[in-house]
Structure 1
């Protein structure tokens, strides 16, 4: 049987390995792009799976001052759509990484 020091060393190495994998996964989330849309595609928001907004595209037909309130609502809806897709993409990537770990149900990484 291994002595306590060897067991602690192995646990520490495993924890460091998992921490490095988590850091790599988090960095990868910023490379995955999603697009949220509203108004039938009149407003589009590009974002990363980490939630960073990359760009906003507005159809020219929306650039009417009398439609300002509708445009604001469409932008908010597109951002929310992009955020939901970013969350889904992030969850999918993280579940790939944690697939082999014996985590209790409902336990989410990163902490």
Structure 2
């Protein structure tokens, strides 16, 4: 049983490392504002097209940044959930043998 728990912990660490390598992008204003993050929800880059930046007011820019960040975080959630579901399915298959199934 402890072997299975250790294996589950290792699998979780592998998933976290894999999620650190997956990039998601949120965009606003037709791609003029882009937020890049990892699937672990760590923002790694924010880019704003210079032409858009010159004409935007502060409130509009803040609102669009929030839109792009939230979009990137939703994508990160989707990727993370898919990875966890796949790992859980694999682990439950292993645990099923432990309980005679």
- TM-score interval w.r.t. the shorter chain? 0.7 to 0.9
TM-score by length of 1: 0.76
Q: 1:48 aligns with which of 38, 51, 55?
A: 38
Structure of higher RCO (CA pairs closer than 8 Å, 6+ residues apart): 2
Aligned residue in 2 for 1:16: 6
Structure 2 segments unaligned to the other structure (5+ residues): 94-101
Instruction: Name the counterpart of 2:16.
Output: 26
Mapped pair 1:95 → 2:62:
no
Stretches (4+) displaced over 4 A: none
Cα distance in structure 2, aligned partners of 1:99 and 1:30: 21
2:49 match: 59
Is the 2:28–2:34 contact (alpha carbons within 8 Å) kept by the matching residues of 1? yes
Partners of 1:62 and 1:71 within 8 A in 2: no
1:6 corresponds to: none
Structure 1, unaligned runs of 5 or more: 1-10, 104-111
Aligned counterparts of 2:55 and 2:48: Cα–Cα separation in 1: 14
Asked if the contact 2:26–2:69 (Cα under 8 Å) also holds between the matched residues in 1, the reply is: yes
The normalised TM-score by structure 2 is: 0.83
Give the C-alpha shift of residue 66 in structure 1.
5.6
For these two proteins, the number of residue pairs brought into alignment is: 93
Structure having the higher Rg? 1
**Coordinate RMSD, CA, aligned:** 1.7
Is contact 2:8–2:91 with CA below 8 Å preserved after alignment?
A: no
